[in-house]
Amino acid sequence: MTQHRPGQWPVEQPVDLDAVDGAKATHDELYVKRAAEKALHEMCLDSIRHDLEQQPTGPSAQAKARIWCAHILALADDVAAAKRKAA
């Protein structure tokens, strides 16, 4: 079998991962952008971790985590609906 389906390896035409919004960016710009994205991600997770650590017991921490998950999924649904409307 010589034909490759989408998602198979090896890729004949790899995507340029260093392109930002279709334009070439310097390595410094890419580093700053990735560092900012990572910092935002870590701040969000640390905020949730702090809230979970405030719970008095393990089961209450798990219950609170389920509440966080429900809220995050509700936010994702709202954002997806807004993006579908805008498209």
Which pLDDT tens digit goes with each residue over 27-81? 888 889 899 999 999 999 999 999 999 999 999 999 999 999 999 999 999 999 9
What was the pLDDT predicted at 30? Answer: 83
Indicate if the pLDDT at residue 20 is higher than 60: no
Which one, of 81, 63, 62, lies nearest residue 73 by Cα? 81
Rounded (10°) angle between helices 27-53 and 58-86: 140
Instruction: State the pLDDT at residue 26.
Output: 79
Q: Report the C-alpha gap between 19 and 15 in whole angstroms.
A: 9
pTM (predicted TM-score) = 0.63
Q: What is the mean pLDDT of residues 20-26?
A: 63
Nearest-angstrom CA–CA distance, 70 and 27: 38
Domain ranges of the chain: 27-86
